[in-house]
Every structure is written in C-alpha cells, then in structure tokens.
Amino acid sequence: MHNTKFLLHAAEQYGTPLYYYDADIIRHQYKRLVNSFTDITIKPKYACKANTNIHILKLLKAEGCGLDTVSIQEVELGLFAGFQQDEILYTPNCVDIAEISKAVEFGVHINIDALPILEQFGSKYGNSVPICVRINPHVLAGGNSHIQTGHIDSKFGISIHQIRHLLRIIQLYDIQVAGLHMHTGSDIVDPQSFIYGLDILLDVAKDFKDLKYIDFGSGFKVPYKPGDVESPIEEIGRQVSIRFKEFCTEYGKDLELWCEPGKYLVSQAGVFLVNVNVVKQTVSTVFAGVNSGLNHLIRPMMYEAYHRIENISNVTEIERVYSVVGNICETDTFGWDRKISEIREGDVLAMYNAGAYGFSMSSQYNSRLRPAEVLKDGTELKLIRRREEINDLIYTQMLDK
C-alpha cells in the first residue's frame, strides 16, 4: 500500500523520527465508507481525536466530511481548519457546563451524555439551543477493554435504563432534542454489533418526535497484521441502510444518519519512521534500539497494539528475530520477537498503521522532542508539522528574569 521509495525519501529529507501520511489512502477510505451506504443520507463526522493535524482536517473537509470533536480545543481547531459550525459535533465527557457553554457560543452541535449536565443545560438554555443526547446501549463491543465504551460499566453516555428520567428532564426544561447518539467501542468486526446497538437506539428514538439525525458512532476495524480481519464495511453499510430506511418509514420522515469514523479514515494512511541506533544482543533477546519510544507512539504499550514493523532500508530474504525497543527510560517496546529483514545500525524501520492515535497521543516525556509530520499527496511530499526544538520545551514555562 505504501511505496518504500517515498518512505525512504521522506526519512532522508526530513529525518527521523517522522510521521508520514498518504492523502490518497485517506480519500480512498472516506469514499469507500460513504459508498457503502445506499438510499439514505449518510453524513460522516471525522473523529479528529485520532489525528488533529490541520492539513488532515482540511483534506477531509474537502471530501465533504464533517467533524466529531471531544474537547473545546478540537472545536476551535475544526473552525480554524474551515469547518462550518453545523458541520461540527461536540461530544465531551465529564466536562463542566462552562466548557459546554463555550461550544454553544461557537454554534456547533452539542452532544450531552450525563443527566446532571443535561439539567444544568436545560436550566440555562431551555429550548433555545437544540442538542443531541448520547445513549449508552449497554453493548459490549470492540477490541481492548480501554476502547469499549458502550458497556454497563462505561463512563460514557446515559443508560438506556434511565430513559424515563431523561424524558422527565427534557419535558421539565422543554429541551429541544435534535439527535440521538451512541458509540459502543472500537475495532468491531461483527455487523450485528452495529445492528443490535442501532436497534436499541432506534427504539429509544420513538420517544422523541422532532429528531433530525441519528448518530450510531463508529468503531470500524482496520487490519494491523498480515491476514488480520477488518470490518466488512460494505456489509455493515448495506445492513444499516436497510434497517435505517425501515425506521424512517415508521418514524414518518427521513432523518440523517451520522457516524464518526476516526481510525478507519487515517490509520492505514500513516507510517512512523525511525532509525536504528543500536543492535544489542543479550543472553535471550536481540534488541533493535531505535531513536524513538513510547513518547511518540504509545499504542503498543498502552493497548498492546500490534504495528507491523519492516526494515525498509535493507529488504532481503534473510530474516532474524528482533524485539524493537525505544530510547525512553522506561520499558517501551514497539514489538516483541518480530521476524524482520536483518537489521543494521542506521537502518530505517517503518511502523505501519500509525496514522491514528500516534502523534495525537505523543508527549515530551524524558524531555524528548516530538517528531515532524509530512503528507504525501500524489507525488508531492509536504512538511505539515515541524520537528520540535529545545525552545518548545521551555516556551510555556515562567522563567525568572
């Protein structure tokens, strides 16, 4: 999927560590998603927590995508990137009413997922500001437990068992509910998980007479390793389209269907490039130590996520077993016991599926600098974020004069 020549050129021109993204792959994923839904109005909102680089946001806006945000700062980034207010959905969690009020001032769609906040919102705004309500359908779906968000012990959403309480608050404060929302988790491969959750949401929707849209979240899985399964997006789109169209007929009008792909759009477009500092053999393991660490790509350590690792500067049939580790003063392993083309000091390693939750979860741990980002669009390679410098570590600190 990625051209090794471009990867090596990027590493040579901009240095490593380096995040590399391919615009054509992002466009392909977006079009594949949209084309999977038929005879309904599907309006994807990119879950920008996956990657908030302004150039990625502008690229998806140009394709016709909206924006899903989870903080007021992401709302501001979206507006800065050129999204219109009505293209942005703001879905916070455990924030105070003051931050939600800022989102109201910005004029974006507001999604509320807690009854106490809903009461505060109703008391302040009444029916003057339409909202969306996030429902927790109590569906256990997704990969790692850290990314399962729709189960009974989740902090996200208003439980389906609290619907009567929800309706009383809405009636008491005369709140306008324009949309209903859910998100069950990430890395879902079974279409029935979406249908089951959607059916629960549509059943709740019968109690709301003036809806304009239903948002069934996302969680589409992308393949990470050879032979890995992925969400059958065409089948999901087909089944969801049929079920949603049936509901709209029952409801008496056509609603918009929203979803919030994040990883699905950008993960496969990204490659994280590093250089090998040292090949170190111990009594039990051969380590390939690289010039990065969990401060730049934390997913393997946080989620036990698998990222395929390839030696792109020494592609041979000779493979050895390596554990690829970072340079942080902490256990930071990118991959244990991987069969990789023989690694030499100075080689460039590529870690794939790095477009989502890579740079966006990076840090300055150990006071190391965050990497640069580049975007390949056709044959053009463009720097879209410069590499940090030492002044970036000092800039926000209050120094004595």
**b/e per residue 98-134 (b: at least 16 CB within 10 A):** eebbebbebebbbbbbbbebbbbbbeebeeebebbbb
Mean pLDDT of the chain: 94
Residues 167 and 226 in one domain: yes
**How much is the pLDDT for 142?**
46
Residue 201 lies in a domain: yes
pLDDT > 70 in the chain, percent:
97
Same domain, 216 and 278: no
Q: Read off the pLDDT of each residue in 368-374 and give the average, rounded to a whole number.
A: 98
Say what the pLDDT of residue 194 is.
86
Residue pair 324/333 in contact by the 8 Å Cβ criterion: yes
Residue 44 pLDDT > 80? yes
Section 318-347 average pLDDT: 96
**Same domain for 222 and 306?**
no
Is the pLDDT at 376 greater than 60, yes or no?
Answer: yes
| Mean pLDDT for the stretch of residues 334-361 | 98
Looking at the structure, do residues 244 and 274 belong to the same domain, yes or no? no
* Residue 23 scores a pLDDT above 70: yes
Residue 269's pLDDT band, with cuts at 50, 70 and 90, is very high
Q: Residue 120 corresponds to which tokens in the numbers above?
A: 């505060």
| CA–CA gap between residue 70 and residue 111 (Å, rounded) | 10
For residue 237, pLDDT over 80 is answered with yes
Listed in order, strand segments (DSSP E) in 70-208 are: 88-90, 109-112, 131-136, 158-159, 177-181
- Which of 213, 244, 263 is the last residue in one of the domains? 263
Structural domain count, the chain: 2
pLDDT at 152: 62
Q: Tens of pLDDT along 129-172? A: 999 999 998 876 444 444 344 446 678 899 999 999 999 999 99
Residue-wise pLDDT for 318-328, tens only, equals 999 999 999 99
List the one residue out of 320, 323, 362 whose CA is nearest residue 341. Answer: 320
Task: Please give the single-letter amino acid code of residue 183.
Answer: H
CATH of the domain at 246: 3.20.20.10
Nearest to 333 by CA among 361, 357, 300: 300
Q: Which of 213, 236, 263 is the last residue of a domain?
A: 263
Cis check: omega of the bond before 17, within 30 degrees of 0:
yes
Tokens (6 digits) for 161: 């068992």
Among 171-180, 216-225, 290-299, which is the least confidently predicted range?
Answer: 216-225
Scan for tokens 């890579």, then name that residue: 358
pLDDT of residue 151: 47
Mean per-residue pLDDT, 339-348? 97
Rounded Cα distance, 386 and 281, in Å: 34
Domain that holds residue 298: 270-394
pLDDT (0 to 100) of residue 183: 86
Mean pLDDT of 348-376: 98
Q: Quick check: is 93 in a domain?
A: yes
Least confident of 187-201, 251-265, 349-363: 187-201
Residues 44-73 have a mean pLDDT of: 98
Mean pLDDT score, 11-29: 98
Q: What is the pLDDT of residue 140?
A: 60
Long-range contacts of 332-340 (CB under 8 A, 24+ apart): 332/293, 332/294, 332/295, 332/301, 333/300, 333/301, 334/290, 334/297, 334/300, 334/307, 334/309, 335/300, 335/306, 335/307, 335/309, 337/285, 338/309, 340/288, 340/309, 340/310, 340/311
CATH number of the domain that 356 lies in?
A: 2.40.37.10
What are the DSSP calls for 275-313, one per residue? EEEEEEE-SS-EEEEES--TTT--HHHHH-----EEESS
pLDDT of residue 149: 44
Residues 23/58, Cβ–Cβ less than 8 Å: no
Q: Are residues 284 and 258 in the same domain?
A: no
Residues 326 and 199 in one domain: no
Judge whether 16 lies within some domain.
no
**pLDDT of residue 124 exceeding 80:** yes
| Mean pLDDT score, 336-341 | 97
> What is the DSSP secondary structure assignment for residue 396, as one 8-state letter?
T
Question: pLDDT band at 349, cuts 50/70/90?
Answer: very high
pLDDT value of position 150: 45
pLDDT tens for residues 59-93? 999 999 999 999 999 999 999 999 999 999 999 99
pLDDT confidence bin for 253, thresholds 50/70/90: very high
Q: Which of 229, 245, 263 finishes a domain?
A: 263
Say yes or no: 360 and 298 in one domain: yes
Q: Identify the DSSP state of 267.
A: T
Would you place residue 246 in the very low, low, confident or very high pLDDT band (cuts 50, 70, 90)?
Answer: very high
In this model, does residue 185 exceed pLDDT 80?
no
65 belongs to the catalytic site: no
Span 272-276, average pLDDT: 98
Alpha helix ranges (H) inside 50-114: 54-63, 72-80, 97-106
